Amino acid sequence: MEVTDLRQEMNRQLEERHLLDQVREYTDAYFDRVRDMRAVPSEADKKVLSVFDEAMPTGSQDAAETLALLQSAGENTISAQGGGRYFGFVNGGILPVSLAARWLADAWDQNAALSVMSPLTATLEHVCERWLVDLLGLPEGTAAGFVSGSSTATLCGLATARDALLLRQGWDVRERGLYGAPVIRVVLGEQAHSSVHKALSLIGMGKANVVIAPVDDQGRIDPDRLPELDGNTLLILQAGNVNGGAFDPFEPLCARARACNSWVHVDGAFGLWAAACKETKAFTRGMELADSWSTDAHKTLNAPYDNGVIFCRDRNALVQTMQASGSYLIYSEQRDGMLYTPEMSRRARSIELWAGLRYLGKFGVDALVAGLCENARYFGDLLRARGFRVLNDVVFNQLVVACDSSEETKATLEEIQLGGVCWCGGAVWRNEPVIRVSVCSWRTTKEDVEMSVAAFADARARAQKLK
C-alpha cells in the first residue's frame, strides 16, 4: 500500500469508527465473562500466544483482522484482574468511571508535559494535587507529581531527598554530580520494599551506606532501636508493610527525624490511602511530619494502571531535582507537569484520576478502603476456621498465610495457582515461605472470598495427596 493510500485508509477508519465499535464489542464480552474467568490463564490456554511469533509484516495488514487476532489470542491469556478473585501483587480493580475517562483521554491523546500542550491536563493535575493533599492530610502546599507508579514515585522522592540533603552541606548535585560528594546515611527497615533498594541504587546510594533498622514481628521499625539520625540522614518508612500491611509508628519516628533535621520519605504504595479512611486513619498518625511520600492510585484507589504519585512537602526541592531546561520549552504561570516528574512526554493520567476522585468523593474513598479491609479480615477469619495459619495482624488489606509445614505451604500455593479459581503470590515471612494475599479490588465480594477460601482448602487437600 502506498503512503497516500495508507493515510486515506486511516482517515476512513477515523470517520467510520468501525474499529472502535469492534473494540467496544470485545470489551462488552470481557465484562460479561470476567467474573467467571480463571483468575489466570492455564498453561494450555497460553499456547495460543505462539500466534504472535511471526516476522514483522512487510506490508500493511488489515486493521480489523489485526484487532480480531488480538482478541482471539488475548481473551483467554489475560489475568482476570477485573474480576474479584485476583489477590496477587496488590493489583487493584478499576473503577468504571475511571475506565471510561481513560478511554476518552486515550482518544484525546494529550501530552501532560506543559500547560501550553494541554490546558485541561494541567488544570486537572492542579485539582488532583489539591484534593489528594487534603484527602491524605498532608501539609498544605505539598506538591504532587503524577508518574507511572510508586516505584518511579519512590525514585523521585529519594532523588529529591539526596539533592536536598547534599545542598544543606553546600554540595549542588546538579552542578557537581556525585563524584566526591559527602556521604548520605540511609536508614530503613529490614523489610523495606525491593523498589526502595532499587531506587537507592539508581541514584548512586549503594548498600554500604544503608543502615538497617530492627523491626518487630509485624515488620514495623522499633522506635526504641532506631539507629542514630542526624542532618545528613535519609530515613525511609513504610505505610503498609510489603507483606503484612503493618504501618511504621510514624509519630515517634518522624518526631525524632525532624528534631535531627533528617529527611523522611514514606513508601505508601498501597497503604498511604489508610489516611483517607476513618477506620484506618490512626495507623498514619504522624505521617504528615515526613518530607516526601510515594503511592499508587492504581492499587487501593482502583484507578487504571500507570497511576503513581510522588508528594513532596518542599515544592521547590522537587522542582529543582526534576526540572529540565531548553530554549524550546514554554513554561507558564499555570501548572507545568514536567516540573514535578522525570518524564517530559507523558500521558494525561490526571484525567482518569480526577474522574475517580470526583465520582467517589471523600465518603466513597473512605468506603472503598474500609471495604477492602473488611474483606481481608473476613478472608483471615475463614482461613483460620479451615485450619490455615494467618501469621500477621490483619490491619489493612494484606494477609500472610501458611499451612502446617513449609513444604505444605509451597505445595498448596502451587495448587492454588494451577487451580485458577483465585490467584495469590508467595513470599518469605520470618524465614518461612508463605502465601501472600492482597485484597485490593472493589469488585471482591464476600462470595468471592468464600470461593477463594474453599479453593485454598481444596488446594491443600490436593497437595497432601501428592506427598
- Condensed to tens digits (0 to 9), the pLDDT of residues 420-446 reads 999 999 999 999 999 999 999 999 999
DSSP β-bridge partners for residue 438: 398
Residue 285, all three cell numbers = 498518625
Cβ proximity of 250 and 287 under 8 Å: yes
Q: Is 197 exposed, middle or buried (CB count within 10 Å of its CB: 0-12, 13-18, 19+)? A: middle
- Helix, strand, or coil (residue 393): coil
Three-state secondary structure of 279-313: CCHHHHCCHHHCCEEEEECCCCCCCCCCCEEEEEC
Cβ proximity of 225 and 179 under 8 Å: no
Reported as a pLDDT band with limits 50, 70 and 90, residue 298 is very high
pLDDT digits (tens, 9 = 90+) for 118-157: 999 999 999 999 999 999 999 999 999 999 999 999 999 9
Reported as a pLDDT band with limits 50, 70 and 90, residue 3 is low
CA distance 190 to 210: 10
pLDDT digits (tens, 9 = 90+) for 316-366: 999 999 988 899 999 999 999 999 999 999 999 999 999 999 999 999 999
Please compute the mean of the pLDDT values over residues 34-49 and round it to a whole number.
Answer: 96
Residue 387 Rama label (left phi>0; alpha psi -120 to 50; beta): left
Closest alpha carbon to 116 in 316, 337, 350? 337
Reported as a pLDDT band with limits 50, 70 and 90, residue 1 is low
**Mean pLDDT rounded to a whole number for the chain:** 96
Q: Is the pLDDT of residue 467 over 90?
A: no
Q: State how beta strands 389-390 and 398-402 pair.
A: antiparallel
> What's the predicted TM-score (pTM) here?
0.97
Q: Is the pLDDT of residue 103 over 90?
A: yes
Say what the pLDDT of residue 4 is. Answer: 73
Please compute the mean of the pLDDT values over residues 227-256 and round it to a whole number.
Answer: 97
Closest alpha carbon to 392 in 427, 359, 417, 360? 427
Q: In the chain, count of helices (H) and strands (E)?
A: 14, 11
Domain boundaries, the chain: 3-80, 99-358
Residue 123, all three cell numbers = 488544570
Q: What percent of the chain is modeled with pLDDT above 90?
A: 97
Show the DSSP H helices in 169-233 as ranges: 173-176, 194-202
The strands making up 210-213's β-sheet, listed across from edge to edge, are: 143-147, 308-312, 292-296, 263-267, 233-238, 185-189, 210-213
How far is CA 430 from its chain centroid?
Answer: 24
> Which class in CATH covers the domain with range 99-358?
alpha beta
Residue 453: CA count within 13 A, CB half-sphere: 25
